[in-house]
């Protein structure tokens, strides 16, 4: 009986400590909702390991399912998600999603921006211009192929080698199987507003990225004055290092 009483009181104490810590964290959060914007050759499932961590921290989550037909279209989809979100909002973009949040981040509900291995263009820049491939060559982009409608995709072998090389074979295969194709025309659409000029920005840098080269990410983070951190990771840092990405988002939510 004494052992049972001790264990019961210990577990209750642990539970109170954990719930108390969660309550304290929730009180520190200024944002209410995180809107997650996936990149090209991905979909909303790429955030599946990050979303539970954000919810445990007391944040609501919306993972946008963008069509990748155009920059304007993806911004419109994202704005609709922000419209229905409880504000303030932390707007997060991975890869191509950085183009989207740079434009959509002007929304009044958006409190802060988080770039995750993403592009951070300036006003008037398209992805083609922001990528600066002559300075920062990206092996993964060289492996892209186009379908008959002009949409880019990553062959399965390229996805494993350049996009998700730190994941298991099964994970990399699923990413290739579920990828969203990017309309080639979207690459030439420039942003007309750079939200990072007006909103606090954060940058999760993938330290072994073959799609959005790591040196380019560092350059973006410096240019926009972002609070940044780096972890050894492939392009899909939110899959391989979800806690790292979640911590960055939670920091932005504060």
Boundaries of every domain in the chain: 1-29, 31-253
Q: For residue range 41-99, list pLDDT tens digits in order.
A: 999 999 999 999 999 999 999 999 999 999 999 999 999 999 999 999 999 999 999 99
Tell me the pLDDT tens digit for each residue of 104-131.
999 999 999 999 999 999 999 999 999 9
Where b means 16+ CB within 10 Å and e means fewer, 197-209 reads: eebebbbbbbebb
* Mean pLDDT (whole number) for 182-203: 97
pTM of the entire predicted model: 0.90
State the pairing for strand pair 151-153/182-183: antiparallel
Provide the CATH number for the domain formed by 31-253 in this structure.
3.40.50.1820
36 has a pLDDT exceeding 80: yes
């Amino acid at each position: 009986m004494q052992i049972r009483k001790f264990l019961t009181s210990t577990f209750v104490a642990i539970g109170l400590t954990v719930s108390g810590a969660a309550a304290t964290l929730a009180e520190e959060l200024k944002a209410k909702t995180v809107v997650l914007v996936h990149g090209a050759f991905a979909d909303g499932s790429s955030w599946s390991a990050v979303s539970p961590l954000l919810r445990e921290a007391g944040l609501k989550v919306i993972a946008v399912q963008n069509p990748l037909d155009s920059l304007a279209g993806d911004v419109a989809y994202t704005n609709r998600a922000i419209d229905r979100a409880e504000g303030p909002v932390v707007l997060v973009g991975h890869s191509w999603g950085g183009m989207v949040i740079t434009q959509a981040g002007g929304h009044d509900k958006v409190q802060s921006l988080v770039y995750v291995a993403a592009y951070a263009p300036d006003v008037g820049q398209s992805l083609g211009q922001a990528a600066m491939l002559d300075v920062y060559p990206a092996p993964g982009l060289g492996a892209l192929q186009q379908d008959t409608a002009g949409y880019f995709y990553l062959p399965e072998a390229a996805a494993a080698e350049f996009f998700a090389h730190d994941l298991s074979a099964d994970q990399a295969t699923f990413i290739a199987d579920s990828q969203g194709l990017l309309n080639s025309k979207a690459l030439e659409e420039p942003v007309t507003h750079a939200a990072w000029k007006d909103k606090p920005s954060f940058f999760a840098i993938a330290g072994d990225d073959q799609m959005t080269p790591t040196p380019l990410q560092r350059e973006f983070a410096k240019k926009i004055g972002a609070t940044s951190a780096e972890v050894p990771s492939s392009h899909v840092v939110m899959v391989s290092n979800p806690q790292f990405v979640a911590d960055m988002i939670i920091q932005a939510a504060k």
